[in-house]
A and B are shown apart, each in its own frame.
Chain A
């Protein structure tokens, strides 16, 4: 299938070269209709029924608004006009007045209180928000006050700018959230869902009374096209105006050469890493992990597997441009050091050049998702790099479900794990705030719910406690930087790279796409203002 896709692609390129290039048309700054291709169905587009974070959550947020929105690395007003806090524990949020739900009913503070309580009751759903840090929520006139269990300077970015407001009058009767129908997809956002059927996809119609201004596009059609190749073909014909697929580095040039196709690109915070099972010897020893990490040239991975379309991983995990920020740590790669350190560990080369550590040959299995081209390629490169220092890697490719079952059974780190090494990736939100990041490292499985390597280190736990105790943004940034430093030493996993985002669109259909780090181009900012 893959091979065929390449053949077809080559054919497209050849045919494209033969035919006369169509005339370039002017870029459209407003449009009647924009058609977006997504890869799979997204349910009824409520915060509880979309199927994926990206692009499902992005589509939901075109219909539903949040109290604040992410802007650059900070937050900006949306349904709330300001954030008032002195201690980062009690937040008072004055609400925008005169806002109505898309069915005409007014938006009130009662809706906000209801939303928080509703999320507390209903934990499932791709855009559902974990509101447990909010201890109380009270309405007072046109404002709400939220009190947290503990101070959290990142609360506005982490929760307030992500929590879609639900209309109380429609949602209070809902008991099974995953069966919420399209009649519940009523928000305050720039678009309303006017049609949904599995055959023709979704139709979103501009909400002329949107408080942020009338959207520049009248109708957004969203069609499901499972095949990447078909999506790009439909983009070439103009049947589709935007594909939500991240353009693979190999196809970029060919798409870009088309006169009417533009590529919107920017930084993405989805990360790819080499995960160690730190509960299984010898990966339970930081020295071993460090030595292996030094043998891996992450720059080369970006150059070879991503054709340069990415950023080499920061040993401290966090992308330098992420809101969490922090100093970029120096790269670890140093083959000679890796060899020296392995020697020092007593790992002498044995037969076939494979080192022996503690009486066992250094030969390990590396799992990789069979569906990911760049991870497959990277896994092979890593195998070759580790071979250089006398460590043998057997790459095993598995379908994602089988791999998850080995690495993260039931998505519950308490259930253990069964692997040596695996290629892994975290979605962008994991890097959004430092309180999110700590869940990767905390040795307590309740707090370290993303700690899939079973990593435990007293020093790191202490740094996490210190971070959690901070109450101001500045102090928290400092603590986050310290934590990153520790992670770069301990290396529960080696962060390999962050892929760049590159999304192809028809310039002649609509060219108003604006890039927002963490969201890409599919957000209300691309249509309003």
Chain B
């Protein structure tokens, strides 16, 4: 897998974790189950560490997508970009180098990740 895509996926997962931990209703629900989300600073630090490993060009695209959508990588499932729910051109969807080359959705601009079935 493309190393920058690997970083972007880790960042996307961490951004979702951070959002979950900041959402009062999710935090309450998780607290009731016995999970305490206390150390948000450690997570923010991990996010910063990962961001610093992005190449400068990708980092600016990342920052733009994060600002615009709050998300950066969209999963592709059955040929659909789950960022904007638009069909990916089939030449890209069936490309041999998907997940090896960094592709972005032509419609929403998010980085694309083809999920294993």
The judgment on whether A and B are partners is no
A residues in contact (CB < 8 Å) with B: none
